[in-house]
Structure 1
Amino acid sequence: MTPEPLELSVTRHIAAPVDTVWRIATERMVDYWCPRPWRVEIVEQEWRAGGRSAMVMHGPNGEAMPQEGVFLEVTPGVRFVFTDAFAAGWRPQGPFIVGIVALAAEDGGTRYTATARHWTAEACEQHRAMGFEQGWRTVADQLAELAEANSR
């Protein structure tokens, strides 16, 4: 599948069932969501359409990157979609991405696909230059490590 022009995406096979990957993905974000040595602090994750998604990513040198957004869709075992275009209560804020994490059964495991869609070519290129592929691929690998260890 060819990505949309303003879309960046990573995919990988995870050797664990979809239900295990979903559970780890939604219940253990603190264990995989940031490429190490970064870590994430979950402020609130309200797993429903319109629910708040708030976290702070902490870097090894004291960096703090707050992220505030909402879930647009949460379909258990299938996908979750989030955006930073809104804060809780549908308060508009400066948008950067719509993120989509999709899961599908494949070859006895799970096909994980994480996609970032952008409003502008400039935002898409900025995200690419920030290390999108390496960062999001590392997150997928960290999720796979957890899910595979928990499916044995």
Structure 2
Amino acid sequence: MSGPFELSLTRLIDAPVDAVWRAWTEHQDEWFCPRPWRSRTIVQELRAGGRSEIVMHGPDGEEKHLEGVFLEVEPGARVVSTDAFTAGWLPAGPFMVRIDTFERVGENAGGQTRYTATARHWTQEARDNHAAMGFDAGWNAATDQLAAVAERIAAEAR
């Protein structure tokens, strides 16, 4: 299902789902924001209702704090999170609901992963602002980094 206020990208990653899942969950600081930005994961309680807090650091000393909660976590398949709430279900100024899906492609032992990252916004204005902020370039660069980490993990497992 897609909504009218959605931005999304899909990528075929040359690594099995378990490697992409591990990259996404265990190596987030290596891929989450496009270089030269970097991220630091403060908390990642990867379960429904769990808290997420990440700080993004820019090359000129900028800091962007991201806080939210996980709404749904299906290991190896799907993560849904939002910034509409912070810890303890405290309402926050919502920007989006993020949905990440991981789908196995191919029948061989290694296989590939169809990874989709989606940002669903409350309004057309929020969607358009996110697009203007550089959604395509930024999320594609981060996904390139995710793929590189996942492919490294897959190669190490061989």
State the TM-score bracket (shorter-chain normalisation).
over 0.9
SS in structure 1 at match of 2:88: coil
Q: For residue 20 of structure 1, give the secondary structure of its aligned residue in structure 2.
A: helix
Matched, 1:79 2:78: yes
Amino acid at match of 1:69: G
AA of the residue aligned to 1:80: V
After alignment, is 83-92 or 100-109 more displaced?
100-109
Report Cα offsets for 1:110-129 as digits up to 9, x if no partner.
00000000000100000000
**1:129 counterpart = 2:128:** no
1:113 and 2:116 correspond: yes
Q: How far, CA to CA, are the matches of 1:126 and 1:62 in structure 2?
A: 23
**Could you tell me the TM-score, scaled by structure 2's length?**
0.93
Gaps of 5+ in 1: none
Which amino acid is the alignment partner of residue 131 of structure 1? G
Alignment RMSD, CA only? 1.0
Structure 2: gaps of 5 or more residues:
none
Shift of 1:74: 0.8
State percent identity of aligned pairs: 59
- Partner letter of residue 30 of structure 1? D
Please state whether the residue corresponding to 1:103 is helix, strand or coil. Answer: strand
Q: Would you identify which runs of 4 or more consecutive aligned residues in structure 1 move more than 6 Å?
A: none
- Counterparts of 1:4 and 1:69 in 2: how far apart (Å)? 21
Q: Which amino acid aligns with 2:83?
A: D
Structure with the largest fraction of helix: 2
